Structure 1
Amino acid sequence: MTSVRDTDRLLAAHPDFGDAAAIARRNVARLRVGLLMLARRFPGLTGAAELAAADEKTLTYFLRDPVLRNAFETDLAEAGAGVAGPAPELARFLPDASAAPCRDLAGSPVEAWPGLGPAFVWTGLDGTPGDPIAGRLAALLAAMFPAPTARVPIEPDADQVAGLARGAELLTTLMPEVGAAVLRHIGVVGLGRDDSPEGPLYSVSGGDGMPATIFLSPDRVADPWDAAGAILHEGLHLVLFEISRCGALVVDGAADLTVDIPWRVVPWSTMRVLFAVHVYVHMVAFTAAAREAGPEVLARFGPPPANLAMSLSTPGQVEYATPLARAGFLAEQLERTVADRLTPYGRQFVTWLVDTLESREPGLRASWDRPAGERAPERPGRAPAPHVVAPEIPGGPLTQAPADAVELPDQARLVLATAEPAGVHWLNLSSWLTYALCDGRDAAAVEADYVRLVAGTVDPDTARGQARAGLAQLAGSGLISGS
């Protein structure tokens, strides 16, 4: 069994899924090429190309601003879907907006956890009537909290601001690597209440609706253990949003297929299961760190509550009453039952989480290896995973579509954006090499040269398969064409 500290390091060190700096660099690269693509598609989008050339610090501020980031993601999604509009959403804010206009609206912003991360606390808005940033922010807030019962945001008092900071301090004390990584992804923190018929608001992340933003109930910041758990939970959701923008986790058509969850009445979508297992695996480490907290931690923050880091469950359901039980169930579903819904990137993500959980709880996978007759039968009416048809490889000389690109050689990635068809594309080393060879050679020549260039790394049959798969991927994405 790995120690809590070693588990913390494992969760924060993975170059694709844990390393906060690497994840941020990928999203900055994606922002650069996405802005260039939008500038080409909308010649009137003044300031986009100039912003794409800005330094990494400026673009990171952009990524953490809910209004600018939401507008960018909306424009990118609509362009990719072929939605025609008179002007992109970003045109309402560029070129006049700063890289962090929501922070500017806060007047004198209050740091959520000084010295530990960039987030500021939403204490109010200083926007003038008609200010486009303030108007957009209000609209995003109303869309996220439409119920008349919602009171969001609530201006925090000094004790509540201090409670946020103490929660972050506790989180980084218990899990220094993961805590620092999660706090890096949070840009805005708001307090709010929403005592709706579905239940009270405890905490929620903004996701695509309000990127880089989390909301907590004021009750959640009264105790540092509750605050630390909520910040970790919602911050992890923001991290996975960033990860998922750098590669598809689920095959086309499978994101909304459901999985029955024994501690909840309503089934969860495949994407929700991915988000949940990501949280629960981290919560296994968090609760273990809480159990092992030394006397100096307990003297500083008090004792942890008995129900630390647990969310709601179906009344009377006790079998899945711990993060470990829930993480194990979700992991088995993703690795065994619905693995065909995941892309190779998605399977790598799940394998990383399950390997880390297995290192902490040896024998986890072995507990799944029951005789077939003991497995729960499939429920009738379960939708099958979609059948994916590989695109045809074009004939004749292969050429690259016009694209803007940012190379990330230390991450073995190339990110490209094409204006026609509009889209952002991620290539690994194999598909990157295949793409580079599409310079007028036909498919047979590309395949032969690929095999020659990777000789000694993989066997010829594997190399030919990689080249053909890469050509099909490139053709399906519109990145190459033939005569």
Structure 2
Amino acid sequence: MQPGEVIQQLDGRLQQHEQFGDSSRIVGRVIERYKFALEVLARRDERLREFSSRIEGLDVESADVLFGDLLVRAELEAAINRLETTGPAGASSESLPWLLGEALTSLARDRSMGVSRGAMKRDFAVGPARRTWVWDLPDEPTHVGDLLRESIRTGFMPGAESSVEIIRPTPRMIEGLERACALLYRLVPRIADSVFQHLHSIAVANIRGPRGRMLTGSGGDGTPCMIFIDPDELDNPWDTAGHILHEGIHLKLSDLIRTGAIVTEDGPIELPWGRKTALSNSVFAYHAYAHMQVFRAAVQNLGPSCHAEFGAPHDYDAPAHAMSVVNNKTTSPFSRAQERLEYLHEQLSGPLSPRVTPYGRELVAWLWDTIRPLAALVGERPVSRAEATAEAPPAPSQAPSSARYRQGQGLSLRRSPSTQVLFALDPASRKIVTLNLAAWLAFELCEDKTEHEVLSGYAASLGLGTEHAWAQLAPTLEGLVSSGMIERVSTGTRSVEGVSP
């Protein structure tokens, strides 16, 4: 297979995994989560009831704009945090009903215009269908503008050592962003299309963190769906395209983990390239490095056909960094994305794996397996030291018992066939739980049934043999019990009503 064909294949394969790759499904699950949270909040906040009902009637495009609005999403995340820490009482706020009302009014005027975008002085937009808007806050104060500035101040790297100065873009800066978006689509169109489903806005900004100047940034529930790019980067379409991809992929994983935890214990770890960071941040880095390897291969093998239009990478000056495709000429250990990717894979699939959830371990393994064909393009063998030792087979699950199960009492539920997930809120744990189809099936079967009866129904529904079905079902039942979704009851006990539809 020719290098170009390998890259095109990987560009598609990275979007095909139903849980980890398909951005339409990922975004759909996030939207359903917000609708569920609004349902719960509206039970105690009369102001939200009408808005919740109107939001249920929105089409897919309008719902995506509403829940992609920075202020709406940030306020919803704050409300969900209060819901999960202190309970439904008082989880809403004065700002949330007002923001939802403003957002719905904006959508009625223009289906592409959210509250935040509507506050801009000029409506600059880039990317596919020009749906990703560029920050241009007016100098004069406005209510929404002040909220946006406060969200940046408190939501993105807060602290005395950090600062973000949003810059009003010039036409040349917008042109630089447009060229970078066009180049990204030329090189990896499927990855680019995926990224822009999570990326709603771009801010040109001077960013300083605890370690000094930053070229790009993203992250946090205070500044969701957006990325920051240093203005000096915008004349270089190659690295700017990489910046958009890198930070956009972070947004994709942020959306992914809103409905599925990736770590069990998020304490700090030391990285050999001079960083101490949370374990979850290491998974974010691994996820980005894997995608960037495909982009780098595309630059090397498909990029020459773009040189006439965009110039060659070596035509530009750029600061050296691990993600750069223009200047990565350094011999320092772990200064390149490939080295960091391999190291993180060894750690996440080896000594750190007990601190990673089964969902997270599946993500790590899938990414590594997907990008293996890249090794043939550069003559490397993509096998880490962690793979050199054969993994011990899992211990067989204990045989099903006569234990009887019932669904948890007082659960609030949202069944979402379109996104193939079930959302639930347990009044005891106060945590929003997300079940995939298999776990959803097990939950539905666990109404006054013994383990044998649940296993029989599970195996029949999925067309599995009994042994294979039990290997899947046993840990699922344990997870459902620990999350409060189901309860073990003594023989003879019968379930009572207590599940809210």
After TM superposition, the score normalised by the length of structure 2 is 0.81
Deviations 1:3-45 (A, max 9, x none): 2212211222222112221211111221221211222254453
Match of 1:14 in 2: 17
Match of 1:310 in 2: 322
The 3-state SS of whatever aligns with 1:267 is strand
Partners of 1:53 and 1:127 lie apart in 2 by 36
Equivalent of 1:292, from 290, 301, 304? 301
Partners of 2:258 and 2:44 lie apart in 1 by 21
Partners of 1:30 and 1:159 lie apart in 2 by 39
Whether the 8 Å contact between 1:277 and 1:327 is mirrored in structure 2 is yes
Match of 1:262 in 2: 272
CA 285–470 in structure 1, closer or farther in 2 if over 3 Å, else same? closer
Partners of 1:52 and 1:394 lie apart in 2 by 45
Task: Kindly report which structure 2 residues correspond to 1:299-378, keeping only aligned pairs within 5 A, or say none.
Answer: 299-305=308-314, 310=322, 318-361=332-375, 363-365=381-383, 368=386
CA 223–116 in structure 1, closer or farther in 2 if over 3 Å, else same? farther
Match of 1:249 in 2: 262
Partners of 2:474 and 2:387 lie apart in 1 by 36
Whether the 8 Å contact between 2:441 and 2:458 is mirrored in structure 1 is no
CA 396–457 in structure 1, closer or farther in 2 if over 3 Å, else same? closer
Match of 1:387 in 2: none
Deviations 1:372-428 (A, max 9, x none): 9xxxxxxxxxxxxxxxxxxxx99766235442313236x643333456653322212
Whether the 8 Å contact between 2:72 and 2:99 is mirrored in structure 1 is no
Equivalent of 1:227, from 212, 215, 240? 240
CA 98–371 in structure 1, closer or farther in 2 if over 3 Å, else same? closer
Partners of 1:474 and 1:227 lie apart in 2 by 44
Match of 2:119 in 1: 105
CA drift at 1:51: 4.3
CA 359–307 in structure 1, closer or farther in 2 if over 3 Å, else same? farther
Equivalent of 1:82, from 86, 91, 104? 86
Match of 2:393 in 1: none
Whether the 8 Å contact between 1:35 and 1:49 is mirrored in structure 2 is yes
**1:479 has 2:492 as partner:** no
Q: Which amino acid aligns with 2:412?
A: A
Partners of 1:102 and 1:366 lie apart in 2 by 45
Partners of 2:454 and 2:225 lie apart in 1 by 42
Deviations 1:57-100 (A, max 9, x none): 22211221111101111111221122676452353525522152
Deviations 1:355-376 (A, max 9, x none): 023222163126556699xxxx
Whether the 8 Å contact between 1:283 and 1:309 is mirrored in structure 2 is no
Whether the 8 Å contact between 1:450 and 1:467 is mirrored in structure 2 is no
Partners of 2:311 and 2:229 lie apart in 1 by 21
Q: Which amino acid aligns with 1:310?
A: A
Of stretches 290-299 and 351-360 in structure 1, the one that deviates more from structure 2 is 290-299
Partners of 2:431 and 2:482 lie apart in 1 by 12
CA 10–307 in structure 1, closer or farther in 2 if over 3 Å, else same? farther
Task: Kindly report which structure 2 residues correspond to 1:15-414, keeping only aligned pairs within 5 A, or say none.
Answer: 15-55=18-58, 56-82=60-86, 86=90, 88-89=92-93, 90-91=95-96, 93-99=98-104, 100-113=114-127, 115-116=128-129, 118-125=131-138, 129=142, 131=143, 133-143=144-154, 144=156, 147=160, 150=163, 152-195=165-208, 198-251=211-264, 254-258=265-269, 260-264=270-274, 266-305=275-314, 310=322, 318-361=332-375, 363-365=381-383, 368=386, 398-400=406-408, 401-408=410-417, 412-414=420-422
Deviations 1:275-309 (A, max 9, x none): 00111111111111111235440011111148787
CA 158–142 in structure 1, closer or farther in 2 if over 3 Å, else same? same
CA 121–255 in structure 1, closer or farther in 2 if over 3 Å, else same? same
Whether the 8 Å contact between 1:454 and 1:463 is mirrored in structure 2 is no
Partners of 2:141 and 2:415 lie apart in 1 by 38
Partners of 2:178 and 2:217 lie apart in 1 by 18
Whether the 8 Å contact between 1:38 and 1:76 is mirrored in structure 2 is no
Aligned Cα root-mean-square deviation (Å): 3.2
Partners of 1:84 and 1:404 lie apart in 2 by 15
Q: Which amino acid aligns with 2:413?
A: D
- Name stretches of at least 5 consecutive residues in structure 1 with no aligned partner: 373-392
**1:427 has 2:439 as partner:** no
The 3-state SS of whatever aligns with 2:372 is helix
Of stretches 155-164 and 98-107 in structure 1, the one that deviates more from structure 2 is 98-107
CA 225–464 in structure 1, closer or farther in 2 if over 3 Å, else same? closer
CA 184–126 in structure 1, closer or farther in 2 if over 3 Å, else same? farther
CA drift at 1:154: 0.4
Whether the 8 Å contact between 2:83 and 2:430 is mirrored in structure 1 is yes
Partners of 1:263 and 1:462 lie apart in 2 by 43
Whether the 8 Å contact between 1:123 and 1:155 is mirrored in structure 2 is yes
Whether the 8 Å contact between 2:75 and 2:96 is mirrored in structure 1 is no
Whether the 8 Å contact between 2:47 and 2:97 is mirrored in structure 1 is no
Partners of 1:51 and 1:477 lie apart in 2 by 31
Match of 2:464 in 1: 457
CA drift at 1:228: 0.5
Whether the 8 Å contact between 2:70 and 2:116 is mirrored in structure 1 is yes
Whether the 8 Å contact between 1:38 and 1:419 is mirrored in structure 2 is no
Q: Which amino acid aligns with 1:23?
A: I
Partners of 2:164 and 2:404 lie apart in 1 by 62
CA drift at 1:128: 6.2
The 3-state SS of whatever aligns with 2:261 is coil
Whether the 8 Å contact between 2:41 and 2:91 is mirrored in structure 1 is no
Whether the 8 Å contact between 1:405 and 1:414 is mirrored in structure 2 is yes
